[in-house]
Amino acid sequence: MSVRTPDPHPGWLSDEDLYEARRRLPMVYVEAIPVRVDPLGYVSQIGLLYVADGDGHLRRTFVSGRVMYRETLRAALMRHLEKDLGPLALPQIPADLRPFTVAEYFPHPSETELTDDRQHAVALCYLVPVTGECQPRQDALELSWLTPEEAMAEDIQSEFVGGRGRIIQQALASVNWGR
């Protein structure tokens, strides 16, 4: 049973073509970690999504999705943030689009510790402040706002899909949290 919501913009590849492309090419993704910041700009909360995997287990993740052909990174970030958090989330896309890290996922365990059993994927990862009301949509069952300390707790880290907890650690390091 698939819990995946069909892509509302299916125009670029059919499911069969996407399957074949994933077998032969690295796919480009954007990943966005929604955050709330205090008046001084420090991260006070991190928005983590709960999703059900193919076996019905609940896992934590964050906003993520493919960059479509001829789509800018800004447009891809906005599309996926709106798709997962709702149209009233009011994300603040950074003026400087340098990602805090580039994550590389492989279908099998590798030196990156990040896995995606469907494909080899390269993801540009961003922290994105969100100021509006978030209503999880698409595959997301719930959005939890956690403090950085809570997000780094071992029990929360163990709930991430494919090693993505490591991305949270890198995100917080990029804003000098915990130093």
pLDDT tens digits, one per residue of 123-172: 999 999 999 999 998 788 899 999 999 999 999 999 998 899 999 999 99
Count of positions (residues) in the chain: 179
Q: What tens digit of pLDDT does each residue of 27-82 get?
A: 899 999 999 999 999 999 999 999 988 788 889 999 999 999 899 999 999 999 99
Q: What is the pLDDT of residue 1?
A: 44
The DSSP secondary structure of the chain, one letter per residue, reads ---PPPPS-GGG--HHHHHHHHHHSPEEEEEEEEEEE-TTS-EEEEEEEEEE-TTS-EEEE-EEEEPPTT--HHHHHHHHHHHHH-TTS-B---SS---SEEEEEBSS--TT--B-TT--EEEEEEEEEB-S-----TTEEEEEEE-HHHHHSHHHHTTBGGGTHHHHHHHHHHTTTT-
pLDDT band at 84 (very low <50, low <70, confident <90, very high): very high
Q: In terms of pLDDT, which residue wins out, 24 or 5?
A: 24
| pLDDT for 2 beyond 60 | no
pLDDT higher than 60, residue 10: no
How far, in Å, CA of 22 to CA of 19, rounded? 5
pLDDT tier for residue 98 given thresholds of 50, 70 and 90: very high
